[in-house]
Amino acid sequence: MSRLPDFQAAKWDEPVVMEMGRPGGRGQIFPTPEDEVLASVGDDLIPDAMARKDRSILPEITEFEAQRHYLHLSQMTLGMMGVSLFGTCTMKYNSKTSEYATLRPELADVHPYQHEDTLQGVLSIMHEFDGILRSLSGMDQFIFQAGGGADAAYTMVALARAYWKDRGMLGQRTEMVTSAQSHPCNPATAAAAGFKVVNLPLEENGYPSLDALKAAVSDKTALIMLNNPDDMGIYNPEIKEWVRVAKEAGALCFYDHANFNGVMSKLSARELGFDACMFMLHKTFGAPKAGGGPAVGAFGCSDDLAPYLPTPVVVKEGERYRLDDNRPKSAGKVREFWGNVPQVVKAYAWARGMGSEGIKLASDISVVANNYMDKRLSEISGIAISNPDVKSYRMEMTRWSLGPLAEETGIGTVDFANRMADYGIDPWWMSHEPWIVAEPFTPEAGELWSKEDIDLWIDVVAKIVEEARTNPEMVKTAPHNQPVAQVKGDVFEDPTQWAMTWRAYQRKVMGDEKAERGAA
Amino acid sequence: MPTEPRPASSQSHPWMALSAPGAIDDMLEYIGAPSVEALFEQIPADHFRKTPLDLPPALTSEVELKRDLVTRLKKNENCEDNLSFLGAGVWQHHVPAIVDEIVGRTEFATNVWGSYQSDHGRNQTWFEFSSQLGALLNLDVVQLPVYSWGCASGHAIRMAAKITGRKKVLIPQLSDPERMSVIRTYCQPQEMESAIEVVLVAADPTSGRLDLNDLKSKLGSDVAAVYFENPAYLGTIETGAAEIAKLARAVGAETIVGVDPISLGVMTAPGDYGADIVTGPVQPLGVHMHCGGGAGGYIASRDEEAYVRSYNGFLVSIAQTLEPGQHAFGLACPHQNSYGMREDGNDWTGNSTYLWAIAGAVYMSLLGPEGFAEVGRLIVSRARYAAKLLDAIPGVRVVWPDTQFKEFVVNFDDTGKSVAAINDSLREKGIFGGKDISGEGLGVGQSALYCVTEVHTAADIQRLSASMKEVLS
């Protein structure tokens, strides 16, 4: 057992910024318009009907006060400064080289509507990276417009609409078929795009049966959307047959490669028969997550679907790169411009830093490390692996259950997550909804962490299991050395108490009616 | 004498601790597996890829990787070395150095989802983003930003459709085709049963503002929402905003207004002229243009349950903790989004642009009420000055002068030259002319949309004017 760290999080007791400062405090001062500007046009130029009369109630603080305040807040964010084995998110090192490169004016101060001649550098990176993803997936064209994995799923359903519209069958192909355990973004985007969602239930072996699929697909099916492996760490070995069955019914097949880390370099979505796939550059490809974006869902598809892609598409003609906007059958845009370009550059940097061999090794390591964890976790009493009948080695992550311990001690997965941070360990990922196993948690080791990191993580789990038995009240009231005590959730569903802004809080909780209006 | 480099297998890759010699073998031994390959037993043999991976050579050394990145990026021209007047969705505004420092903090750049306690600092920063933006908008609810302004507007229109049970939205004909394309994607092709019909409302040709008579003729009890922007796509200030909101309310429609938040030190808060839902870009609040990657879009509304229950993403609420008197933060209504309800949730959500909420929080705290007033006055003065100088050039005409905030339409019909040709010539002089909007179907002839902000000095504007004269002579 590792020596567990005697950890104490930073606790600055930082006020909400709205409470800070004093009248006249300034953190940024702008120049006054030049004399010739004033002489020519003056500076009172907003039509009276639209001129702001009240003074906005913002804090008035100096530059250093702002810097110190937000540095304090950053220090009260664990980030991945602990050990974060956050399943489904594939925690990786986010290279500072690529952070610095993308902050240079050569990218940060570039406008997407600049003439193509002035964008050849960034276009070359996007084209090269398109090529890297083509090699990894077998697809024919990638775009980066989608602002995350869910947005790439949305790209797929928008594209499916355009595809079926082009065939005059949009009124007939109205259904999307997926697994009940697929990422929520797949059914949710399909529903938002107007498709009826058919969820296939999981069987004992961890995935829906082929028979269930056969019963579900028909000439109404517009597309199927699948993850494989799923979050249990189980690979559906019938996936090729699934694709064949779906295509026989005419449906499009989309591979949500959210869980790509364990199979990268091993599988090719196109060879398995898929028409399109998605990679999350902020997960598998080493771009930072930043608490939820800016992210990129890189969307790739076959030549058959390429005419329906959102525009623009980066293409190379001779030695020159160009933005191709001329796609009359395009599904339309899912987001303005061509994507979170700095994140694409970071993902390119990651892929170049790894190379073919590095990527293959990372995939191997992620599966080795997960199975090492499985073995060690299986030796802790009170926790149970999901789908216990599946005896094979799992892929790069495994869904576990704290169900037995919860029944024994009353300590569940949320309590556990709260307590983990007390040891400087990032709280674990539990599960997407719906929870199929009781009190779930889902570690994913990836290729970043050392054996010592992973051992520490498991030792902390073992320690908290012990605490659940010896001192459940302490675990129930955790955390105890974080920036704040356990947050009470009672306001979050209560319209009379929730407060999404300081002004709402003042009005509702502090009873300050002035907060509704400007100070004037 | 140089020593032989160590073979790759005897040292780790800098980004993979377990690639150190022996580490995998140690784990395999513990697992009791004979080989790495054995662990992939779930995958049928015929599923493994047949084509070998064909990636460019690895650049494992940071020296080489940095060289590659910088060499490539330097083939770009940028808006620091050149004088740029491009806007239309992302704009060149000043980014305070502290904003870059804070968004670059590793804890903020790398975090994902911990507990409310371990994420406390980030969650407070998010709450401060919403609180400060709410103070500018005079609205009580601000959601964390979605992917972009167009996406925010798409969601807002879908919120309105859900709230009213109607399936038609009225949108100005003079709208940004980029945002419109996104909005149309969100409203769906008309063949879909749940489609929201997009009906365009004409502009008053003398002002560029919404034609209220055309609006009235299209408003009815089947309209879910009227959407307009203020300032509008072509830079005009919509002085009829309160009247539009009143007309919409009279037929039970929602008023959705797209608002650039950097205008709010000088322009009326949309919460004060009847907006029900407000959307807008977050990029002006301390985010670099990032070649369009700086985009992000906020959604805000009054604190009424019907609105709050229809948001798609993350609403951060202040809350109490087990320690009396202590406050912290968490997600309000966490079960109504797609994480909680899959296809039955409101639209969908996922990773978004939340780092830009942090940028925005820092930015707004640095400016304060006076900073916003100051930057607003500076922008509008310099924009009007630029419009005036350009309008004075023979053949050049500013369409709708004296009505704009930071962007304005410059028409070149009487010069006999196309915007494309003019911009090519300007570029040779180190100037990026305004966005060519001639082909956008807006009925403005050969025109460009110019953007002037606080980063453009009078001397820059004079340089533009002088260069334009040369180009047109």
> What CATH number does residue A220 fall under?
3.40.640.10
Beta-carbon count within 10 A of A12 CB: 15
Show residues of chain B in contact with A433, CB under 8 Å: 339-342
Looking at residue B115, its pLDDT comes to 97
Distance of alpha carbon A26 from its chain centroid, rounded? 36
Angle between helices A413-420 and A451-470 (to 10 degrees): 120
- The label of the residue with tokens 């459709």 reads B161
B108 vs A17, A77, A280: nearest CB = A77
Asked if the Cβ–Cβ distance from B352 to A355 is below 8 Å, we say no
Question: Are residue A64 and residue A123 in the same domain, yes or no?
Answer: no
* Interchain proximity B15–A70, CB inside 8 Å: no
Looking up tokens 């953190």, which residue turns up?
A27
**A346 and A256 belong to one structural domain:** yes
Residues A299, A207 share a domain? yes
Q: What's residue A253's pLDDT?
A: 98
What chain B residue is nearest to A147 in terms of C-alpha separation?
Answer: B147
For residue A428, is it within any domain? no
C-beta contacts of B214-221 below 8 A and 24+ residues apart: B215/B170, B215/B244, B215/B247, B216/B247, B218/B170, B219/B170, B219/B247, B219/B248, B219/B250, B219/B251, B219/B253, B220/B251, B221/B166, B221/B251, B221/B252
Q: Which of A8, A13, A58, A488 would you mutate first to test chain B, the one with the most B CBs within 10 A?
A: A58
Architecture of domain B83-88+369-472: Alpha-Beta Complex (3.90)
pLDDT of residue B256: 98
Q: Which of B191, B238, B290, B461 to mutate to test the interface with A (most CBs of A within 10 A)?
A: B290
In angstroms, rounded to a whole number, what is the distance separating the alpha carbons of residues B318 and B354? 18
Decide if A228 is inside a domain.
Answer: yes
pTM: 0.97
Domain boundary at A323, A353, A383, which? Answer: A353
Distance (Å) from the alpha carbon of B218 to chain A's nearest alpha carbon: 25
- For residue A485, give the nearest of B323, B330, B380 by CB distance: B323
- Reported confidence tier of residue B1, pLDDT bands at 50, 70, 90: very low
Distance from CA of B111 to the nearest CA of A (A): 4
Q: Suggest the residue from A48, A186, A336 to mutate for an interface test with chain B (most B CBs closer than 10 A).
A: A336
B-chain CB neighbours of A78 within 8 Å are 107, 111, 114, 118-119
Confidence of residue B10 (pLDDT cuts 50, 70, 90): confident
Residue ranges of alpha helices (H) inside B48-96 are: 62-73
From residue B146, alpha-carbon distances to B95, B129, B329 in Å are 21, 14, 20
Amino acid at B216: K
Tokens of B454: 């606080």
> In this structure, are A124 and A211 located in the same domain?
yes
Query: Which chain A residue is nearest to residue B78, measuring alpha carbons?
Result: A110
Which of left, alpha, beta for B107 (phi over 0: left; psi -120 to 50: alpha)? alpha
**β-strand partners of A297:** A280
Domain B97-364: CATH class, spelled out: alpha beta
Contact B291 A338 (CB under 8 A): yes
Given a contact cutoff of 8 angstroms between Cβ atoms, the answer to whether B95 and A67 are in contact is no
Nearest chain A residue to B373 by CA distance is: A55
- Is pLDDT at B96 greater than 50 in this prediction? yes
pLDDT tens-digit map of B72-92? 999 999 999 999 999 999 999
Q: How many domains does chain A have?
A: 3
- Whether A225 and A344 map to the same domain: the answer is yes
Q: Using an 8 Å Cβ cutoff, are A394 and A300 in contact?
A: no
The mean pLDDT value for B289-301 works out to 98
Q: Whole-number mean pLDDT of chain B?
A: 96
A243 and A333, same structural domain? yes
For chain A, how big is the Rg over CA atoms in Å?
Answer: 26
For residues A131 and A252, membership in a common domain is answered with yes
A67-81, A418-432, B125-139, B335-349: range with lowest mean pLDDT: B335-349
Domain that holds residue A61: 17-75
Specify the domain boundaries for CATH 3.40.640.10 within chain B. Answer: 97-364
| Cα-based distances in Å from B81 to A103, A122, B434 | 15, 16, 16
Chain B residues touching A113 at Cβ < 8 A: 86, 88, 435
Co-location of A33 and A127 in the same domain: no
Q: What is the pLDDT of residue A513?
A: 54
Cβ within 8 Å of residue A519, ≥6 positions away:
A54, A55, A57
Nearest to B181 by CA among A309, A434, A485: A309
Bridge partners (DSSP) of residue B451 are B407
**C-alpha atoms less than 13 angstroms from C-alpha of B433 in its C-beta half-sphere:** 26
Contact yes or no for A440/A413 (Cβ under 8 A): yes
Angstroms from B406 CA to nearest CA on chain A: 11
Do the beta carbons of residue A428 and residue A420 sit within 8 Å? Answer: yes
Using DSSP bridges, classify how beta strands B397-399 and B435-436 pair: parallel, antiparallel or unpaired. Answer: unpaired
**Chain B residues with CB-CB distance to A432 below 8 A:** 339
Going by C-alpha positions, the residue among B172, B268, B179 that lies closest to residue B212 is: B172
Identity of the residue numbered A508: K
pLDDT at B7 over 70: no
**Overall residue count recorded for chain A in this entry:** 520
> B184: nearest CA in chain A?
A332
Across the A:B interface, residue pairs with CB atoms under 8 Å apart total 766
Given a contact cutoff of 8 angstroms between Cβ atoms, the answer to whether A441 and A400 are in contact is yes
Average pLDDT over residues B8-23: 90
Q: How far apart are CA A92 and CA A96, in angstroms?
A: 12
What pLDDT is attached to residue A450? 97
Confidence at residue B4, expressed as pLDDT on a 0 to 100 scale = 60
Report which residue type is found at B230.
N
A371 assigned to some structural domain: no
Residue A8 lies in a domain: no
Q: Which of A331, A353, A375 is the last residue of a domain?
A: A353
Q: Tell me the pLDDT tens digit for each residue of B204-233.
A: 999 999 999 999 999 999 999 999 999 999
A398/chain B closest Cα distance in angstroms: 13
Quote the strand ranges of A165-220, DSSP E.
Answer: 175-179, 196-200
Residues A211 and A149 in one domain: yes
Q: Which residues of chain A have pLDDT under 50?
A: 515-520
Establish if A457 belongs to a structural domain: no
**Nearest residue of A to residue B321, measured between CA atoms:** A487
Same domain flag for A141 and A25: no
CA distance B178 to B143: 23
> What one-letter code names the amino acid at B242?
A
- The model's confidence at residue B3, banded by pLDDT at 50, 70 and 90, is low
pLDDT at A517: 43
Tell me: pLDDT of B339 over 80. Answer: yes
User: Please, where in chain B does CATH 3.90.1150.10 lie?
Assistant: 83-88+369-472
Give residue A514's pLDDT.
Answer: 53
Residue A331 inside a domain? The answer is yes
B450 in Cβ contact with B434 (< 8 Å): yes
- Same domain? For A67 and A122 the reply is no
A410 in a structural domain: no
Q: Do A41 and B385 meet the contact criterion of CB atoms below 8 Å apart? A: yes
The answer to the question of residue A425 being in a domain is no
3-state secondary structure of A143: strand
Same domain, A313 and A187: yes
Radius of gyration of chain B (CA): 26
Last residue of a domain, one of A318, A353, A388: A353
Chain A residue numbers touching B341 (CB-CB < 8 A): 433
